[in-house]
């Protein structure tokens, strides 16, 4: 397939693997966190860890928007969808994410809630136009990648004077989460993951550019390489990180130059800043509350805010104490360290969201790496 | 003998199903005679009984049943009618049997267009004739508007197993080869390309086809060295091989490079975040064959029009976790798991 096969070439991969093997110093360990769930997925799907020397290890990060959403937000959506006049539009990944007490949007739909899976924010517009007597709510979720599409939808809804469409906003920001991983006292207390470098987000960076990571690299002395989502992208990024570590450098480098520009996508950022502003604080699953880490609607667009329109309240939810999703999202633990992994927690009966989302670390381990995990456990 | 028509003719062009078509009265008879018998016409149906008698041949009989609820009803490469014939014929054929007769039940929603019903019944009739099977009995029910998604079809198939074969999913042995009859994922992608909320341009048509003729060729070449045959429909190749692995208490190791998938299917799956190995097929089979006869069976498959893209994609291995593992195109390894839940698109 054009523009995909080129980035999946076995011979080039083997060349990169040889280079990593030659250049990685056998006397030291290289622990790189792939921030994005998209990278985790690629690493497992193509079995990239098999191509790396034993002292180059990958640690999964929190970059899966579904995984970092606390169960309390799912509960809010379920309560909202239970209202007879509400039609809730969601992206498919969210359907099976567990709320509290084994609830999920999929179950809520089976019990009669009007929940529609959509592929695009424009689907929500169409649904709202077709059902003017229904309150259509779009469950907006995602990092900076998906935020511009929500912004465009809200602008379009205002232009079309759609009064029955609103947004349940759960958009979050990457740099504050990365910073939280690198500095949070909460994480230090738990034994912060030893990270020698970060494979930075691909699509997020296409929107925000590479500059926002500069301060993090400098302040924390962490090499960061922005990488694309194809297997060769990830291999090349690993080689670039090895070289930075060897050279004692900690810079932001851009491996994904075919899509990411230093300054990002100006139009998309303007669209977002027209509609959204920072929330003071947002609760992240696994990372806890992080200041200035999420978005809410600006005042001129407040009437599109479902949380205000339906007076939605976030009620605290206590996660299953045995579930290690939190530590896994921080890179402190691996899915195989969790007692629930593969026993009571499977994709069919998920306890934590990391087992549900295709980009979650537990789902990736379960789906692609289970045999290896069995071996790890035996060892 | 035909019942002489004494009421207004069925308006197939503009008419639609109403509750009277399911009431058992004249309208029902008119629908059955005027539409279904026209499409399926054979000596058994012509006798207008509630059942049909047929001779039992030597050997063992094979029976299967399946329901069809596909949406949309019409898709590139077929419709629910041809699918209802091919799917059940294939389930009979996967035993190594020759399919002979089908029974067909229709659950129709009030308001369903007769022109669509005729198109579907005609394509069922054509598919049955092409496969040399006869639809010899059936049933029609009508439910109120909103109680069914247009039309559901249930078909039951009967076939004969004259060759002494005993194909079963617990028969796979370590060292056996895994053969597939062609490119995977065509049907699922063709269907998805026509779902109203997903419409995208792709030149892929469903692979819906009756496989019993291919099976006969394989059986002639491989005989009892063919341990298991399955058609990888819902859940795709991944589900089929995981089922066989569990039933035979072993594992499989596949070579990703050997698995045939059309570039357009790969592209559509990339776009939607799907794995082609999870996508449904309706005209492909997987055969687990003893290693010493695998090449002969594969050659026979390749010589048949429905098996020209057939490939040997891996082998059965000892594995007490019963996993399906795959060496990736990239040189690494991974598991090919069952699909969990419905295939859902990813969001970023």
Has residue A273 been placed in a domain? Answer: yes
- When scoring B332, B338, B343 by the number of chain A Cβ atoms within 10 A, the one with the most, hence best to mutate, is B332
Cα–Cα distance measured from residue A57 to residue A28, given in angstroms and rounded to the nearest whole number: 11
In the listed set B113, B134, B161, which residue is the last one of a domain according to the structure? B161
Tens digit of pLDDT for each residue in A21-47? 999 999 999 999 999 999 998 998 888
Cα–Cα distance measured from residue A86 to residue A84, given in angstroms and rounded to the nearest whole number: 6
CA B52 to each of CA B25, B44, B136, B138, B155: distance values in angstroms, whole numbers, following the listed order: 21, 6, 6, 10, 15
Please state the domain count of chain A. 3
> Hey, what are A10's tokens?
């076995």
Name chain B contacts of A203, Cβ cutoff 8 Å: 348
Please tell me whether residues A208 and A166 are part of one structural domain: no
Please tell me whether residues A76 and A170 are part of one structural domain: yes
Size (chain B), residues: 348
Please tell me whether residues B155 and B202 are part of one structural domain: no
Residue with tokens 């048509």: B205
Q: Residue A226's beta-bridge partner residues?
A: A200, A254
B2: exposed, middle or buried (Cβ count in 10 Å: 0-12, 13-18, 19+): exposed
Please tell me whether residues A302 and A362 are part of one structural domain: no
User: Looking at this predicted complex, what is its ipTM?
Assistant: 0.78
Q: Where in the sequence is the domain holding A339, given as residue range(s)? A: 325-373
Please tell me whether residues B267 and B118 are part of one structural domain: no
- Nearest residue in A to B322, CA atom: A371
> Hey, what are B215's tokens?
């099976």
Once rounded to an integer, what is the mean pLDDT over residues B40-66? Answer: 92
Which candidate from A50, A358, A366 shows the least CB-CB separation from B346?
A358
Which candidate from B273, B330, B347 shows the least CB-CB separation from A142?
B347
Has residue B223 been placed in a domain? Answer: yes
Q: Which residues contact B34 (CB under 8 A, 6 or more apart)?
A: B5, B9, B10, B12
Q: Which residues contact B257 (CB under 8 A, 6 or more apart)?
A: B329
Residue spans of chain A under pLDDT 50: 376-379
Please tell me whether residues B131 and B57 are part of one structural domain: yes
A residues 25..44 contacting B (CB < 8 A): 38, 44
Please tell me whether residues A228 and A98 are part of one structural domain: no
* Helices of type H across chain B: 26-31, 38-40, 43-46, 80-93, 114-130, 186-192, 212-222, 236-248, 263-272, 291-302
Q: How confident is the model at residue B325 (pLDDT cuts 50, 70, 90)?
A: very high
Give the DSSP H or E segment for A239. Answer: helix A231-247
Q: Where in the sequence is the domain holding B110, given as residue range(s)? A: 19-161
In the listed set A207, A225, A254, which residue is the last one of a domain according to the structure? A254
* Axis crossing angle, helix A121-130 with helix A147-159, rounded to the nearest 10: 30
B63 in Cβ contact with B156 (< 8 Å): yes
Please tell me whether residues A78 and A169 are part of one structural domain: yes
Cα–Cα distance measured from residue A355 to residue A318, given in angstroms and rounded to the nearest whole number: 18
Please tell me whether residues B206 and B88 are part of one structural domain: no
B161 in Cβ contact with B93 (< 8 Å): no
Which pLDDT score is estimated for B345? 47
- Cα pseudo-dihedral A346, A347, A350, A353, rounded to 10: 120
- Nearest residue in A to B329, CA atom: A10
Greater pLDDT, B290 or B202: B290
Domain with residue B301: its CATH number is 3.90.650.10
- Strand pairing of B134-143 and B177-180? unpaired
Would you call A34 helix, strand, or coil by DSSP?
A: strand
Has residue B287 been placed in a domain? Answer: yes
Torsions phi, psi for A303 (to 5 deg): -70, -15
Which pLDDT score is estimated for A64? 86
Cβ within 8 Å, pair A370-B328: no
Q: Residue A133 CA to chain centroid, in angstroms?
A: 34
Cα–Cα distance measured from residue B179 to residue B304, given in angstroms and rounded to the nearest whole number: 14
B80 in Cβ contact with B151 (< 8 Å): yes
Name chain A contacts of B345, Cβ cutoff 8 Å: 91-93, 119
Which pLDDT score is estimated for A377? 47
Cα–Cα distance measured from residue A79 to residue A76, given in angstroms and rounded to the nearest whole number: 5
| Position B114 pLDDT exceeds 90 | yes
Once rounded to an integer, what is the mean pLDDT over residues B260-289? Answer: 92
Once rounded to an integer, what is the mean pLDDT over residues B248-271? Answer: 94
How many CB atoms are closer than 10 A to CB A110? 10
> Hey, what are B159's tokens?
């076939």
Q: How far is B48 from chain A (nearest CA, A)?
A: 42
Please tell me whether residues B118 and B265 are part of one structural domain: no
Cβ within 8 Å, pair B332-A48: yes
Cβ within 8 Å, pair A50-B267: no
Once rounded to an integer, what is the mean pLDDT over residues B55-72? Answer: 91
Please tell me whether residues A47 and A190 are part of one structural domain: yes
Residue with tokens 């090349």: A236
Cα–Cα distance measured from residue A307 to residue A172, given in angstroms and rounded to the nearest whole number: 16
Please tell me whether residues A24 and A160 are part of one structural domain: no
Please state the domain count of chain B. 2
Least Cα distance to B274 among B195, B173, B342, B225 occurs for B342
* Helices of type H across B57-211: 80-93, 114-130, 186-192
Tens digit of pLDDT for each residue in B137-163? 999 999 999 999 999 999 999 999 987
């Amino acid at each position: 397939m054009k523009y995909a096969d080129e980035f999946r070439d076995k011979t080039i991969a083997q060349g990169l693997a040889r280079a990593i093997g030659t250049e990685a110093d056998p006397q030291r360990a290289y622990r790189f966190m792939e921030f994005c769930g998209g990278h985790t997925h690629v690493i497992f799907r193509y079995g990239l860890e098999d191509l790396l020397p034993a002292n180059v290890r990958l640690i999964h990060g929190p970059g899966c928007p579904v995984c970092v959403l606390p169960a309390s937000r799912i509960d809010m959506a379920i309560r909202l969808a239970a209202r007879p006049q509400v039609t809730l539009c969601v992206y498919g990944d969210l359907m099976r994410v567990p709320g509290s007490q084994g609830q999920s949007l999929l179950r809520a739909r089976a019990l009669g809630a009007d929940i529609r899976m959509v592929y695009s924010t424009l689907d929500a517009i169409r649904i709202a136009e077709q059902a003017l007597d229904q309150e259509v709510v779009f469950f907006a979720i995602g990092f900076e990648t998906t935020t511009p599409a929500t912004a465009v939808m809200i602008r379009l809804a205002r232009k079309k004077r759609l009064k029955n469409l609103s947004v349940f906003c759960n958009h979050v920001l990457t740099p504050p989460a990365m910073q939280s991983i690198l500095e949070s006292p909460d994480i230090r207390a738990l034994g912060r993951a030893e990270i020698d470098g970060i494979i930075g987000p691909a699509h997020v960076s296409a929107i925000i550019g590479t500059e926002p990571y500069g301060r993090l690299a400098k302040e924390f002395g962490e090499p960061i390489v922005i990488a694309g989502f194809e297997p060769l992208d990830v291999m090349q990024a690993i080689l670039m990180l090895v070289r930075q570590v060897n050279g004692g450098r900690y810079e932001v480098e851009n491996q994904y130059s075919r899509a990411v520009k230093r300054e990002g996508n100006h139009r998309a950022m303007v669209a977002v800043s027209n509609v959204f502003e920072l929330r003071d604080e947002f609760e992240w699953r696994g990372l806890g509350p992080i200041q200035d880490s999420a978005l809410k609607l600006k005042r001129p667009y407040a009437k599109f805010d479902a949380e205000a329109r339906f007076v939605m309240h976030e009620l605290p939810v206590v996660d299953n104490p045995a579930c290690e999703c939190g530590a896994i999202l921080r890179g402190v633990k691996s899915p195989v360290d969790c007692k629930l992994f593969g026993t009571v927690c499977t994709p069919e009966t998920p306890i934590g969201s990391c087992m549900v989302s295709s980009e979650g670390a537990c789902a990736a381990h379960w789906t692609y790496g289970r045999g290896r995990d069995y071996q790890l456990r035996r060892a | 003998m035909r019942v002489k028509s004494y009421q207004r003719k069925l308006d197939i062009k503009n008419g639609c199903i109403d509750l009277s078509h399911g009431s058992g009265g004249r309208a029902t008879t008119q629908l059955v005679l005027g539409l279904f018998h026209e499409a399926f016409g054979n000596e058994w149906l012509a006798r207008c009984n509630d059942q049909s008698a047929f001779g039992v041949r030597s050997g063992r009989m094979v029976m299967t049943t399946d329901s069809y609820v596909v949406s949309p009803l019409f898709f590139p490469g077929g419709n629910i009618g041809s699918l209802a014939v091919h799917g059940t014929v294939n389930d009979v054929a996967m035993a190594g049997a020759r399919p002979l007769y089908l029974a067909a039940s229709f659950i129709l929603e009030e308001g369903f267009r007769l022109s669509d019903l005729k198109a579907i019944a005609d394509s069922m009739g054509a598919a049955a004739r092409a496969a040399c099977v006869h639809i010899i009995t059936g049933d029609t029910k009508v439910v109120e508007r909103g109680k069914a998604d247009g039309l559901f079809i249930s078909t039951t198939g009967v076939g004969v197993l004259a060759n002494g074969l005993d194909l079963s999913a617990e028969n796979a042995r370590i060292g056996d080869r895994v053969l597939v009859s062609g490119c995977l994922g065509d049907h699922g992608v063709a269907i998805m390309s026509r779902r109203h909320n997903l419409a995208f341009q792709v030149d892929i048509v469903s692979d819906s086809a009756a496989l019993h003729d291919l099976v006969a060729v394989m059986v002639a070449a491989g005989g009892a060295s063919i341990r298991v045959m399955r058609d990888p429909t819902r859940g795709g190749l991944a589900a089929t091989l995981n089922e066989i692995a569990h039933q035979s208490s072993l594992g499989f190791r596949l070579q990703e490079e050997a698995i045939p998938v059309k570039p357009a299917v790969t592209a559509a799956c990339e776009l939607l975040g799907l794995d082609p190995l999870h996508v449904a097929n309706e005209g492909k089979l997987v055969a687990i064959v003893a290693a010493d006869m695998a090449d002969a069976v594969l050659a026979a498959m390749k010589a048949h029009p429905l098996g020209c893209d057939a490939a040997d994609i891996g082998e059965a291995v000892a594995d007490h976790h019963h996993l399906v593992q795959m060496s990736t195109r990239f040189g690494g390894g991974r598991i090919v798991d069952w699909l969990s839940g419905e295939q859902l698109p990813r969001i970023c």
